[in-house]
Structure 1
């Protein structure tokens, strides 16, 4: 990918950590943060003077919460993806509904998302150190970065901060902008391209599906009335055990699910790509990556080389996290991530 740092500067080997908990769905370039709104003031060490321990506090909180509630790390990766895909990386996702707006979290595309309360825990810890200084959007981006590392993924370096928080929800744009589980590869690549992420980076970011789980609601179309011919026979039988009926409902809390990766369900590794090559892609959009000529070579290479996957994932995560930052006059630093600041 153009404008990337070398893999040695982006990624250092991360220890493999395990947990029984699970959850999930679902490039450092100068141009990414400079596109639109003057780059929003993003830079390395943004809080070095105003809140020197900001990034350390986030990392400490991520570690503490992970060891108490392992699925939090997966939640933050998904939350950053959902936040950045809609308009900007601006923490609009975190806003609660008001008398005049609907929360982005209410969208069907957000089904299954959770652990927002722990973002509030991290934010509160930062607020105690530096009141009104660190944005919720930076907290979310840094938590996703540190969450990836604690899941055994890459240690991403070079994440710029200085994001501003949105004053409004963009709930009417969620369905349009968040890719669906059965979208075409063209639709997915087009959406990622809008964020400045190329095909290689898109394939790498979808590797986040190496961790977590998928609700049966998103799977049954591939299993009933007959199992999709593109699914490995034994895997199809396993999925039918996990999802025994075709009437799985989206709007129930007691939902059945299947793990994205049965071998290393809480490790952010290249098992996802190995599964695709073995016809064990859980979501239709995942399996299509292995068949499409625009993405198949990346799938094969990432399946063969975990370090390459980590390198590309780290680069693409940085690019996505810098999408369309708000200018100083467009956003604010929310004190409570759930609500805009009261009018002065």
Structure 2
């Protein structure tokens, strides 16, 4: 009788532990808060100090950190593959058309150097991407998001599949929703994370299709005239700095003006404006336009999900010494 009781208890214990074992198998549970508390206690503070200093020197770096997180984590997972340069055997993801307009990568190296001075070969570039985005969001007036750490760096680039993972600026909202859903972010979260378009700018190359040869009828006519002033030709030079701000009211604040602009037909990209016309997303747009606190709450939730998408952990990958290159073997 005792045997059967013991067997039943053992089976019950395995039932409870099975989900945990699965988590370890897929590397999810190895991300943890304060991962570097013993190996590099000042790591997060060093990143915060560097992000703050860079923001005061180059305000647009904070926008870059947020965009880096999206471009890195959406493509195969949060593993700093985005940061790899093109060298023999590796084609950089930064060379993709989807990465057009991305900048400030050199300042990632500034942050990494400060970490290497503090704790050599300890803090991964993937965690630099995540934590710089977290601290950049705060610099832009957004919410403080508690992020887990412990990501490792990829030894390969995924340049050949970037366009499969990162939506194009003129993709339909249904395809964008599907893309985000595949990494666990629902429609509400997708609407929130696109609120990152509240900050930064859009290059004319990506919006002239809505202006020429005729103006998109879903675009506010007065706003269209302003955009034509910013982008006076249907064939802008990709190398020229020709752009329009996503949000003219609070261009460097991560807030809900983005949604107010959408409801006023002032979204810059096709995918932006479709948020305000698709019945699956319009209710969330309306609610976020009316309540900045609700936007911040949902934005935090979505960014956290994004930051934990399929990371390399444990013995997977490596900790690069230089974020631009795989470690020498």
TM-score normalized with structure 1 length: 0.88
1:333 aligns with 2:322: no
Deviation for aligned residue 1:37: 2.3
Determine if contact 1:39/1:324 at 8 Å carries over to the other structure: yes
| Aligned position for 2:306 | 320
Task: Answer with 280-289 or 321-330: which moved more.
Answer: 321-330
2:201 maps to 1:221:
no
Alpha-carbon distance change, 56 to 270 in structure 1, aligned in 2, over 3 angstroms: same
The Cα RMSD (Å) is 1.5
User: Can you give the 5+ residue segments of structure 2 that lack an aligned partner in the other structure?
Assistant: 1-18
Asked if 1:179 corresponds to 2:167, the answer is yes
Question: Does residue 235 of structure 2 align to residue 247 of structure 1?
Answer: yes
1:205-246 CA distance string (max 9 Å, x none): 100000010011111110011110000110011111111111
Flag as ranges the 4+ runs of structure 1 deviating above 6 A: none
1:252-285 superposed Cα distances (whole Å, 9 cap, x missing partner): 2x23111100111000010000000000001110
- CA distance in 2 between counterparts of 1:266 and 1:327 reads 34
Structure 1 stretches lacking a partner, 5+ long: 1-29
* Alignment length (residue pairs): 310
SS at match of 2:46: helix
Quick one: distance in 1 between partners of 2:263 and 2:289? 8
Give the match's secondary structure for 1:291: coil
What is the distance in 2 between the residues matched to 1:84 and 1:264? 27
Alpha-carbon separation, structure 2, partners of 1:312 and 1:179? 21
Pairing 1:61–2:47 present: no
**Hey, what does 2:242 align to over in structure 1?**
256
Q: Is the 8 A contact 2:31 2:313 kept in 1?
A: no
Aligned to 1:128: 117
1:194 to 174, 178, 182: 182
Spell out the pairing of 1:224-239 with structure 2 (5 A cutoff): 224-239=212-227
- State the SS of the aligned residue for 1:117: helix
1:156 pairs with 2:142: no
Q: In the alignment, which of 78, 81, 90 is matched to residue 89 of structure 1?
A: 78
Q: Counterpart of 1:97 in 2: which secondary structure?
A: coil
Q: CA offset at residue 186 of structure 1?
A: 1.0
Structure 1 residue 35, shift from structure 2 partner = 8.8
CA distance in 2, matches of 1:190, 1:335: 36
- Residue 194 of structure 1 deviates from its aligned partner by 1.5
* 1:209 equivalent in structure 2: 197
Are residues 1:52 and 2:41 paired?
yes
Query: Is the contact between residue 54 and residue 126 of structure 1 (CA under 8 Å) also seen in structure 2?
Result: yes
1:72 aligns to what? 61
Note the C-alpha offset of 1:200: 0.7
Which residue is 1:26 aligned to?
A: none
Q: Which of structures 1 and 2 has the larger relative contact order (alpha carbons within 8 angstroms, sep 6+)?
A: 1
